């Protein structure tokens, strides 16, 4: 029989704060991390808003000798991992034999940008010798392993906006299989570079002002950044050391649309939701809350609504659905981790975060989206949706413990 997997540690650095308590308090207060972009070549950018991590100075977290080795996205991962591991109370051999699986959609874009600026703007012929180890997509996972002293399986998962959810699911599989008892997992991204923002502009899916998921006047997504990390353990391991357990990570569902690179499929998303419920041994009627992918784009919000209806049936009308991207933006490879943490805390605190900036329901958006005010309610079981470009779907089911 597969081992039960539980959550024992939470860590985050986000546009809503430099720690998980700050993240959660901001969600409860409906405080948005979305604002005017800072520190970029704004005169050359059409996009003017983003959800950036504020008041983050690397020198407060890292030594002068460490900083040259760390892209911004890796810095975020380490900070979040430190908090999650401290929260879990894990130390020594138990942590050393664990796994670290970190998702990222972009990798070290800050490093890439710096290299291209050196070559093409400054016309220099040589780059910094640490350019490759600093910017490679696996750098964050490697740096987390070194920070935590983890010598078990360590690797990166990259599946666009589903990266963090896929990383968590891989960690669940490692624990269920008995390969490890402990995993440090989640996602990280730092996409605010000039080149990447120009590429997102070209897609024409960015909002000019803010993120309004499921609203009739929604105008697109808002990019975010940061990292979310959770510590997972086998139930037996956590109980043996009398760890505080936030909840059970009870089910995982994954699917691929195999249809279109950017246009999502309700059928594919519904399949992942149904698989997560089946894996968790949950009936649709037992789901109280859905943390939606909820990007605020025309296509996603209608498709996700259809998928929730297809998977949950009549329960879809009774379930609370909200998108926390309305506050922390779309952090790409970190998004699923932020949203999983929000889901876990909603269960722990019996409060569902709101979908902020909600005006009136858009056509095809006919669920209970918890508009503009958090809702005190008992949440015994919930799911967190992550649906990525390429039709890559990952859904995680969590229940109270």
Q: Which residues are marked as active site? A: 161, 293, 330
Taking the C-alpha atoms of residue 221 and residue 77, their distance in angstroms, rounded to an integer, is 23
Taking the C-alpha atoms of residue 129 and residue 58, their distance in angstroms, rounded to an integer, is 21
Taking the C-alpha atoms of residue 35 and residue 315, their distance in angstroms, rounded to an integer, is 36
Strand ranges for 78-161 from DSSP E:
99-103, 154-157
Chain centre distance of CA 142: 19
> Is there a contact between 88 and 171 (Cβ–Cβ < 8 Å)?
no
Outline where 149-211 has alpha helix (H).
163-176, 194-203
Is 39 exposed, middle or buried (CB count within 10 Å of its CB: 0-12, 13-18, 19+)? Answer: exposed
Cβ neighbours, 10 Å, residue 1? 4
> Is there a contact between 188 and 76 (Cβ–Cβ < 8 Å)?
yes
Is 314 exposed, middle or buried (CB count within 10 Å of its CB: 0-12, 13-18, 19+)? Answer: exposed
Tokens 């010798």, residue located:
129
H or E stretch at 396: strand 392-399
For residue 31, which of 360, 356, 385, 387 has the smallest C-alpha distance?
A: 356
Please provide residue 30's backbone torsions phi and psi, each rounded to the nearest 5 degrees.
65, 30
> Is there a contact between 383 and 162 (Cβ–Cβ < 8 Å)?
no
């Amino acid at each position: 029989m597969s081992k039960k997997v539980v959550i024992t540690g939470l860590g985050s650095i986000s546009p809503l704060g430099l720690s998980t308590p700050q993240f959660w308090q901001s969600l409860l207060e409906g405080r948005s991390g979305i604002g005017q972009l800072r520190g970029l070549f704004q005169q050359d950018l059409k996009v003017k808003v983003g959800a950036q991590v504020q008041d983050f100075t690397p020198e407060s977290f890292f030594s002068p000798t460490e900083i040259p080795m760390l892209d911004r996205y890796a810095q975020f991962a380490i900070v979040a991992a430190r908090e999650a591991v401290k929260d879990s109370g894990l130390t020594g051999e138990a942590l050393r034999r664990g796994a670290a699986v970190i998702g990222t959609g972009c990798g070290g874009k800050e490093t890439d940008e710096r290299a291209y600026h050196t070559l093409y703007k400054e016309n220099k012929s040589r780059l910094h010798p640490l350019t490759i180890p600093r910017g490679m997509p696996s750098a964050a996972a490697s740096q987390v392993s070194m920070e935590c002293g983890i010598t078990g399986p360590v690797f990166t998962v990259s599946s666009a906006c589903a990266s963090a959810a896929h990383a968590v699911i891989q960690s669940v599989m490692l624990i269920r299989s008995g390969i490890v008892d402990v995993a440090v997992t989640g996602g990280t991204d730092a996409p605010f570079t000039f080149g990447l923002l120009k590429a997102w502009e070209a897609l024409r899916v960015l909002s000019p002002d803010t993120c309004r998921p499921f609203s009739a006047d929604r105008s697109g997504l808002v990019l975010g950044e940061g990292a979310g990390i959770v510590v997972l353990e086998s139930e037996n391991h956590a109980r043996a050391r009398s760890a505080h357990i936030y909840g059970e990570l009870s089910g995982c569902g994954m699917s691929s649309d195999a249809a279109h690179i950017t246009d999502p499929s309700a059928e594919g998303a519904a399949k992942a939701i149904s698989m997560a419920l089946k894996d968790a041994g949950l009936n649709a009627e037992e789901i109280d809350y859905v943390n939606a992918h909820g990007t605020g784009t025309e296509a996603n919000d209608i498709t996700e609504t259809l998928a929730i209806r297809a998977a949950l049936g009549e329960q879809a009308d009774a379930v609370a659905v909200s998108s926390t991207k309305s506050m922390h933006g779309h952090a790409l490879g970190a998004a699923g981790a932020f949203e999983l943490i929000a889901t876990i805390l909603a269960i722990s605190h019996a409060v569902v975060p709101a979908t902020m900036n909600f005006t009136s329901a858009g056509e095809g958006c006919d669920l209970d989206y918890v508009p503009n005010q958090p809702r005190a309610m008992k949440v015994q079981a919930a799911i967190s949706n992550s649906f990525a470009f390429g039709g890559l779907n990952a859904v995680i089911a969590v229940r109270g413990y």
